[in-house]
Amino acid sequence: MNQLGFPLLSILIFLPLLGAVVTSLLPWKYASRLSLVFAVVNFVLSLLVVGYFQRTAEFQFVERVSWITAFDNPDTPIPDPGFLIEYFLGVDGISLWMIPLTTLLSAIAIWFSSDSIREREKEYYAFMLLLETGMLGVFMALDLFLFFVFWEAVLIPMYFLIGVWGGKNRIYATIKFVLYTMAGSAFMLAAIMALGIFSVNLGQSGTIGYALDRLQDITPQLPPQTQLLLFLAFAVAYAIKVPLFPFHTWLPDAHVQAPTAGSVILAGILLKMGTYGYLRFAVPLFPAVALELAPIFATLAIIGILYGAWVAYAQRDMKSLVAYSSVSHLGFVVLGIFSLNNQGLSGAILQMVNHGLSTGALFLLVGMIYERRHTRDLEEFGGLWTRMPVFAAFFLITMLASVGLPGLNGFIGEFLTLIGAFAANPWWAAFATFGVVLAAVYMLHLFGKIMFGPLDNPENRTLSDLTRKEIMILVPLVALMVLIGVAPNLLLDPMQPSVEALVEVIQTGAAARLIP
Amino acid sequence: MPPMSLQELGTMARLMSMPIFLAFVGLVVLLSDLIFNRDDERRWPAYLTIAGLIGSLFLWVQSWLVYNLPETDNAFFAKARELLRVEALPQPELLFGGMYDPVGFFKLTLLCNLIIVIVALVVTLIAPGYLERRDLQRGEFYALLLFATVGLILMVGSTHLILTFLALELLSIPLYILAGFARPDLRSEESALKYFLLGSFASAFLLYGIALVYGATGTMNLYEIRAILAGDIQSGAPQILLVNGQNNLMVLGGLTMLLVGVGFKISLVPFHQWTPDVYEGAPTVVTAFMVAGTKVAGFVMLVNILVAFIVLYEWWWPLIAIIAVLTMLVGNIGAIRQRNIKRMLAYSSIAHAGYMLVGLVGLPVFPNIILPTLSLYLGVYALMNLGAFAVLMALEEATDREIVELEDFAGLGRAHPVLALLLGFFLLSLAGFPPTAGYFAKFFLFTGTILSAQRDPSLALQQWLVVAAVVLSVISLFYYARYIIAMFMTAAPAVEDDEEEFEPERPSWMVGTAVAVTAMLVLLIGLFPNPLLALFQ
**Above 60 in pLDDT, residue A514?**
no
The count of structural domains within chain B is: 1
> What pLDDT digit, counting tens, does each position of A189-207 carry?
888 888 888 877 666 666 7
Query: What is the pLDDT, as a whole number, of residue A79?
Result: 53
Cβ-based neighbour number of residue B476 at 10 Å: 25
Partner residue facing A149 (CB), from B368, B435, B471 = B435
Is residue B118 a part of any domain in this protein? no
Contact call for A164 and B489, based on CB within 8 A? yes
Structure ipTM? 0.84
Contact call for A153 and B435, based on CB within 8 A? yes
Average pLDDT, chain A: 86
Q: Which domain holds residue B472?
A: 312-492+503-537
Contact call for B471 and A186, based on CB within 8 A? yes
Chain B nearest-CA residue for A77: B368
Q: What residues of B are in contact with residue A69 (Cβ under 8 Å)?
A: 530
Is residue B191 a part of any domain in this protein? no
Q: What is the CA radius of gyration of chain B?
A: 23
> What pLDDT digit, counting tens, does each position of A49-70 carry?
888 888 888 888 888 888 877 6
B530 and A CB contact within 8 Å: yes
By CB atoms closer than 10 A (0-12, 13-18, 19+), residue B42 is: middle
DSSP output for A162-228: HHHHS-TTHHHHHHHHHHHHHHHHHHHHHHHHHHHHHHHHHSSS-SEE-BHHHHHHHGGGS-HHHHH
Give A499→chain B minimum CA distance, Å. 31
pLDDT higher at A146 or B368: A146
Give B464→chain A minimum CA distance, Å. 11
Interatomic CA distance for residues B98 and B19, integer angstroms: 16
Strands A60-70 vs B246-247: parallel, antiparallel or unpaired: unpaired
* DSSP assigned state of B221: B
3-state helix, strand, coil in chain B (%, to 5): 75, 0, 20
B448 and A CB contact within 8 Å: yes
Which of B478, B530, B532, B535 would you mutate first to test chain A, the one with the most A CBs within 10 A? B530
Chain A nearest-CA residue for B452: A197
Query: What is the pLDDT, as a whole number, of residue B92?
Result: 47
Interatomic CA distance for residues B176 and B102, integer angstroms: 26
Partner residue facing B368 (CB), from A80, A152, A185 = A80
Query: What is the pLDDT, as a whole number, of residue B206?
Result: 93
Is residue B121 a part of any domain in this protein? no
Query: What is the pLDDT, as a whole number, of residue A204?
Result: 62
Contact call for A190 and B489, based on CB within 8 A? no
Q: What residues of A are in contact with residue B428 (Cβ under 8 Å)?
A: 156
**Above 50 in pLDDT, residue A516?**
no
Contact call for B369 and A71, based on CB within 8 A? yes
Contact call for A171 and B485, based on CB within 8 A? yes
Q: Residues A269-298, buried b or exposed e (16+ Cβ, 10 A)?
A: bbbbbbbbbbbbbbbbbbbbbbbbbbeebb
Query: What is the pLDDT, as a whole number, of residue B499?
Result: 46
Residues 6+ apart with CB under 8 A from A343: A416, A417, A419, A420, A423
Q: Compute the C-alpha angle A420/A425/A431, nearest 5°.
A: 90
> What pLDDT digit, counting tens, does each position of A208-235 carry?
888 888 888 888 888 888 888 899 999 9
What's the length of chain B? Answer: 537
DSSP SS3 for A143 = strand
Contact call for A83 and B444, based on CB within 8 A? yes
Cβ-based neighbour number of residue B94 at 10 Å: 18
Q: Residues B419-446, buried b or exposed e (16+ Cβ, 10 A)?
A: bbbbbbbbbbbbbbbbbbbbbbbbbbbb
Contact call for B529 and A68, based on CB within 8 A? yes
Contact call for A80 and B474, based on CB within 8 A? no
Q: pTM for this structure? A: 0.88
CB pairs under 8 A between A and B: 92
Is residue B69 a part of any domain in this protein? no
Which of A71, A165, A169, A180 would you mutate first to test chain B, the one with the most B CBs within 10 A? A71
Q: What residues of A are in contact with residue B443 (Cβ under 8 Å)?
A: 145, 189, 193
Picking from A251-265, A288-302, B401-415, which range would have the lowest pLDDT averaged per residue?
A: B401-415
> What pLDDT digit, counting tens, does each position of A67-123 carry?
877 666 555 545 566 778 888 888 988 898 999 999 999 999 998 888 777 778 888
Is residue B131 a part of any domain in this protein? no
Q: What residues of B are in contact with residue A186 (Cβ under 8 Å)?
A: 470-471, 474
Partner residue facing B447 (CB), from A153, A201, A208 = A208
Closest CA to B154 of B204, B96, B89, B221: B96
Picking from A260-269, A363-372, A450-459, B462-471, which range would have the lowest pLDDT averaged per residue?
A: A450-459
B488 and A CB contact within 8 Å: yes
- 286-345 in B: which are within 8 Å (CB) of A? none
Give A163→chain B minimum CA distance, Å. 6
Is residue B67 a part of any domain in this protein? no
3-state helix, strand, coil in chain A (%, to 5): 75, 5, 20
Partner residue facing A70 (CB), from B428, B433, B530 = B530
Mean pLDDT of A379-407: 85
Sign of CA dihedral A131, A466, A362, A480: negative
Query: What is the pLDDT, as a whole number, of residue B26?
Result: 92
pLDDT higher at B97 or A174: A174
Q: How far, rounded to the nearest angstrom, does the alpha carbon of residue A199 sit from its chain's CA centroid?
A: 29
* DSSP assigned state of A344: H
Cα B444 to Cα A183, B300, B464, B527: the distances in Å are 20, 18, 16, 14
B373 and A CB contact within 8 Å: yes
Q: Contact B299/B336 with Cβ under 8 angstroms?
A: no
Give B67→chain A minimum CA distance, Å. 17
Q: In what order do the strands lie in the sheet with A208-209?
A: A60-70, A83-91, A208-209
Q: Contact B143/B320 with Cβ under 8 angstroms?
A: no
Chain B nearest-CA residue for A79: B368
Which of B433, B465, B475 would you mutate first to test chain A, the one with the most A CBs within 10 A? B433
Sign of CA dihedral B170, B173, B178, B179: positive
Q: For residue A9, give the H/E element and its range.
A: helix A8-25
Contact call for A182 and B446, based on CB within 8 A? no
Residues 6+ apart with CB under 8 A from B273: B198
Contact call for B489 and A178, based on CB within 8 A? no
Partner residue facing A182 (CB), from B369, B477, B534 = B477
Interatomic CA distance for residues A508 and A89, integer angstroms: 25
Chain A nearest-CA residue for B529: A68
Is residue B459 a part of any domain in this protein? yes
Contact call for A164 and B488, based on CB within 8 A? yes
Contact call for B530 and A190, based on CB within 8 A? no
Per-residue pLDDT tens listing for chain B (537 residues): 556 666 666 767 777 788 889 999 999 998 888 888 777 777 888 899 999 999 999 888 877 777 765 555 566 666 766 666 666 554 544 566 777 877 777 778 888 899 999 999 999 999 988 888 888 888 789 999 999 999 999 999 888 899 999 999 999 999 999 998 888 888 888 899 999 999 998 999 999 999 998 888 888 888 888 888 877 666 665 566 555 555 677 888 889 999 999 999 888 988 888 899 999 889 999 999 999 999 999 999 999 898 888 888 878 888 888 999 999 999 999 998 888 899 999 999 999 999 999 888 878 777 777 888 888 899 999 999 999 999 999 988 888 788 888 888 888 887 888 888 899 999 999 998 887 888 888 888 888 888 877 777 666 777 788 888 888 888 888 889 888 888 887 776 655 554 444 555 677 888 888 889 999 988 888 888 777 777 665
Residues 6+ apart with CB under 8 A from A223: none
Contact call for A163 and B488, based on CB within 8 A? yes
Picking from A250-264, A476-490, B97-111, which range would have the lowest pLDDT averaged per residue?
A: B97-111
Contact call for B428 and A81, based on CB within 8 A? no
Q: What residues of B are in contact with residue A73 (Cβ under 8 Å)?
A: 368, 537
Is residue B208 a part of any domain in this protein? no
Contact call for A208 and B451, based on CB within 8 A? yes
Q: What residues of A are in contact with residue B440 (Cβ under 8 Å)?
A: 68
